[in-house]
């Protein structure tokens, strides 16, 4: 029989402070009490009919103290039940699962301070301890939910509707959440599978309205299901960025394969990808690093042509390689003619803007709107702007309008709102229709596609899209692509259609990048001075044993494509600069990576080789913007192009080499495996030169970030 004095002593002492296991048991006890068939009254709060869950817990505690529920002398049972009752009351007395106010996240009992325990408590016997362990294990097996959230902010006054919702939740009878929108599982109050702990956080609408499934004034809610979801059913946030994979250019033996052919590339998207990844604390994925795009991101002061009739000029230099004492770099720099603003032709631009549901993020449509406002302010009054949007169906937001009506154009940009799926094909067709409607002879006719790259309705195959763009390109309307946001970016598609559209592909991750691409580089982005520009280099095996083109893997052409005017290639805009760098191994340097052919040497040393003193012969083929026949520029590379010491190369040449080294380092290429980030920093710092917009200073900060993230390997 239980001693009355023992019971009195137990009744008078304070309950022990609840630990993690006790909290779990408390929640389990509350859930079991509800599931045991005790009916809750549907009466409103304050009704005398029936007992609320908190009242039942208090009644249970009272009956324990009055010795009504003791059926066994085991003290272990007397310890477990008061703890469960005490913790249950503690949890439900003041804080329901959802408070209905504006606080970010609801508080659970795990965040409540523990009650102070008395100075002395009788220790349990071994038998009691064993029984408690067993009870704990049984309870924990039945408890699937655990407190996971942070403390809530102090509750704020609520509306009557909010109080009613809170009361319903306190009775464990919250209304059913609205189903999740298609394609947005578990967002904005959508339903979660059984057994999930799901948090939904959404910003309130501007007009104060709320979405389905959210309480008025609430910014977040927590729904706890009684069963834990299996790990294999967890749905982590998916990154659906699509980037084309490629292998770095290999080292080639000049005796076997002495000709290298590729299309020029003036895109800059890769540099922005790299910058965003590093700023977010991660080294970029190797296939997002296109070294040529990183090199060509920066403006360089290469020597350009003096007259517009010659669209560009090339400069070739040979210098020592910083990362390999046995090789040299052949640096090819191209500079386009810089047309003054007064000489630039009229522009007919169509903004093709993705307003699908995936664009509903701060770094997508809102940033896009700000970017295009910057561009409109850059245009001349006689230029023309049209706006087409696509989401489910394409629509014309603005017919061709002169920039002299700037307010009308800006108002149309400001009214854009996201929603729907992505009918990219229909949007492109409508954009080309408007471009033809306001076509400017001898002017700039361009569609400017701004998207996160998600074409999921209509024509989705990249090959079909390329054929569509290529067909329209022949009419004189070019296309450029501007990517926004991440997680849904189709970089592979952007690159493909920009190349076929005789346009550029840029990635805009900040307003500063928008200013660079659409304001500072507007002339080179919009005003084409040469198209289908190809480079072909023939190396002399008498002087060069091996060579390797750094970058341009996705721009490679067949040797016969160089003279085929039907083969598309890149374009150069007004004032644009293009840089290509080869790493070459001179004969006799000791740096060869490929064994020589047994029977090939006689052919190279037969004494009949012409121009034996040349390193290489560089050929550039291009077309004028409105031309169909290509023209040719050639440059022999001799000892006259050599720079004896790397430090004697120009500032721009050295800086571009530093960027090339950085890109190769991020791709983890063998050539720069032993060349540390500190060496790259040293070269770039010494070659920073004039940096009016801070691009080169930013590059130095990215090198430091990469060094910290990847180690100075």
- pLDDT, tens digit, 9 for 90 and up, residues 31-64: 776 666 544 444 444 444 444 454 555 555 455 5
Share of the chain above pLDDT 70, in %: 62
Tell whether 558 and 640 lie within a shared domain: yes
Per-residue pLDDT tens digits for 479-514: 999 999 887 677 877 887 888 888 888 999 999 999
Positive/negative CA dihedral, 26, 32, 33, 34: positive
How many domains, the chain? 4
Write the CATH number for 330. Answer: 2.60.40.1230
Residue 527, pLDDT score:
86
Q: State yes or no: pLDDT of 698 exceeds 60.
A: yes
Per-residue pLDDT tens digits for 81-105: 555 555 444 444 444 444 444 433 3
Q: Is residue 156 part of a domain?
A: no
**Residue 199 buriedness (CB in 10 A; 0-12 / 13-18 / 19+):** middle
Positive/negative CA dihedral, 464, 470, 473, 479: positive
Q: State yes or no: pLDDT of 517 exceeds 80.
A: yes
Residue 25, pLDDT score:
76
Residue 685, pLDDT score:
97
Q: Is residue 353 part of a domain?
A: yes
Q: Are 454 and 422 in contact (CB under 8 A)?
A: yes
Q: Among all chains, which residue has been given the structure tokens 């959210």?
A: 214
Q: Is residue 178 part of a domain?
A: no
Residue 66, pLDDT score:
52
- The domain boundary, picked from 88, 120, 142, lies at 142
For all residues of the chain together, what is the average pLDDT? Answer: 75
Q: Give the number of other CB atoms < 10 A from CB of residue 410.
A: 16
Q: State yes or no: pLDDT of 130 exceeds 80.
A: no
Residue 34, pLDDT score:
61
The CA-atom distances, in angstroms, between 289 and each of 246, 284, 494, 599 are 10, 7, 15, 39
Tell whether 36 and 53 lie within a shared domain: yes
Tell whether 662 and 622 lie within a shared domain: yes
Write the CATH number for 377. Answer: 3.40.50.410
Tell whether 617 and 673 lie within a shared domain: yes
Per-residue pLDDT tens digits for 610-667: 777 899 999 999 998 888 899 999 999 999 999 999 999 999 999 999 999 999 999 9
Provide the pairing of β-strand 505-508 with 478-484.
parallel
Q: State yes or no: pLDDT of 326 exceeds 70.
A: yes
Tell whether 114 and 69 lie within a shared domain: yes
Q: State yes or no: pLDDT of 707 exceeds 50.
A: yes
Whether this prediction's pTM lies above 0.95 is answered by no
- The domain boundary, picked from 474, 505, 521, lies at 521
Exposure string over 200-218, b if 16+ CB within 10 A, otherwise e: bebeeeeeeebbebbbebb
Tell whether 533 and 557 lie within a shared domain: yes
Pick from 541, 429, 484: nearest CA to 241: 484
Q: Is residue 219 part of a domain?
A: yes
Query: Going by C-beta distance under 8 Å and a sequence separation of 6 or more, which residues neighbour residue 155?
Result: 99, 101, 103
Domain containing 210 equals: 188-234
Tell whether 557 and 607 lie within a shared domain: yes
- The domain boundary, picked from 521, 555, 570, lies at 521
Tell whether 387 and 452 lie within a shared domain: yes
Q: Is residue 710 part of a domain?
A: no
Tell whether 509 and 563 lie within a shared domain: no
């Amino acid at each position: 029989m239980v001693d009355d004095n023992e019971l009195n002593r137990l009744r008078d002492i304070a309950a022990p402070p609840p630990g993690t296991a006790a909290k779990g048991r408390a929640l389990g006890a509350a859930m079991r009490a509800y599931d045991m068939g005790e009916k809750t009254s549907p009466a409103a709060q304050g009704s005398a009919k029936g007992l609320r869950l908190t009242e039942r817990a208090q009644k249970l505690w009272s009956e324990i103290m009055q010795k009504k529920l003791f059926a066994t002398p085991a003290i272990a049972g007397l310890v477990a039940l008061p703890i469960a009752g005490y913790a249950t009351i503690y949890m439900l007395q003041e804080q329901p699962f959802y408070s209905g106010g504006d606080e970010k996240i609801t508080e659970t009992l795990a965040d409540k301070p523990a009650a102070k325990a008395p100075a002395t408590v009788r220790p349990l016997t071994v038998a009691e301890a064993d029984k408690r362990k067993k009870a704990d294990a049984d309870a924990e097996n039945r408890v699937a939910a655990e407190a996971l959230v942070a403390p809530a902010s102090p509750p704020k006054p609520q509306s009557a509707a909010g109080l009613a919702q809170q009361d319903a939740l306190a009775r464990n009878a919250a209304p059913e959440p609205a189903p999740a929108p298609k394609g947005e599982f578990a967002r904005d109050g959508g339903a979660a599978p059984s057994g999930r702990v799901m948090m939904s956080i959404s910003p309130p609408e501007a007009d104060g309205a709320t979405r389905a499934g959210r309480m008025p004034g609430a910014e977040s809610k927590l729904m706890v299901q009684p069963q834990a979801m299996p790990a294999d059913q967890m749905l982590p946030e998916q990154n659906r960025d699509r980037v084309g994979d490629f292998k770095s250019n290999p080292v080639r033996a000049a005796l076997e394969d002495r000709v290298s052919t590729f299309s020029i590339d003036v895109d800059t998207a890769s540099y922005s990808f790299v910058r965003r990844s590093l700023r977010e604390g991660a080294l970029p994925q190797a296939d997002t690093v296109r070294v040529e795009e990183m090199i060509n991101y920066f403006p360089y002061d290469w020597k350009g042509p003096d007259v517009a009739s010659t669209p560009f000029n090339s400069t070739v230099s040979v210098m020592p390689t910083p990362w390999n004492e046995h090789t040299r770099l052949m640096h090819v720099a191209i500079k386009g003619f810089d047309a003054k603003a007064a000489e630039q032709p009229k522009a007919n631009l169509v903004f093709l803007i993705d307003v699908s549901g995936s664009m509903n993020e701060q770094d997508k449509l809102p940033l896009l709107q700000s970017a295009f406002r910057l561009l409109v302010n850059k245009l001349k009054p006689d230029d023309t702007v049209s706006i087409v949007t696509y989401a489910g169906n394409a629509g014309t937001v603005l017919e061709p309008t002169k920039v002299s009506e700037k307010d009308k154009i800006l108002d149309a940009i400001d009214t854009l709102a996201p929603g729907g799926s992505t009918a990219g094909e229909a949007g492109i067709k409508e954009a080309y229709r408007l471009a033809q409607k306001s076509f400017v002879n001898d002017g700039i006719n361009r569609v400017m596609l701004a998207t996160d790259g998600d074409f999921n309705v209509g024509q989705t195959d990249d090959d079909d899209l390329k054929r569509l763009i290529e067909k329209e390109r022949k009419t004189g309307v070019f296309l450029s692509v501007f990517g926004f946001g991440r997680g849904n970016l189709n970089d592979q598609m952007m690159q493909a259609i920009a190349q076929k559209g005789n346009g550029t592909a840029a990635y805009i991750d900040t307003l500063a990048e928008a200013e660079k691409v659409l304001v500072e580089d507007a002339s080179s982005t919009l005003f084409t001075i040469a198209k289908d520009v190809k480079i072909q280099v023939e190396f002399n095996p008498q002087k060069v044993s091996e060579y390797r083109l750094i970058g341009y893997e996705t721009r490679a052409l067949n040797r016969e494509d160089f003279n085929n005017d039907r083969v598309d290639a890149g374009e150069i805009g007004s004032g644009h600069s293009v840089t290509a760098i080869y790493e070459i191994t001179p004969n006799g340097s000791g740096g060869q990576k490929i064994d020589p052919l047994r029977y090939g040497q006689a052919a190279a040393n037969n004494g009949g080789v012409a121009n034996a003193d040349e390193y290489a012969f560089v050929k550039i083929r291009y077309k004028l913007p409105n031309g169909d026949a290509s023209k040719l520029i050639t440059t022999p590379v001799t000892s006259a192009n050599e720079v004896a010491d790397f430090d004697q190369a120009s500032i721009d040449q050295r800086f571009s080499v530093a960027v090339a080294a950085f890109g190769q380092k991020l791709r983890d290429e063998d050539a720069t495996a032993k060349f540390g980030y500190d060496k790259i920093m040293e070269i770039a710092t010494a070659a920073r030169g004039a940096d009016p917009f801070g691009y080169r200073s930013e590059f130095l900060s990215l090198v430091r970030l990469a060094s910290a993230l990847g180690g100075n390997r």
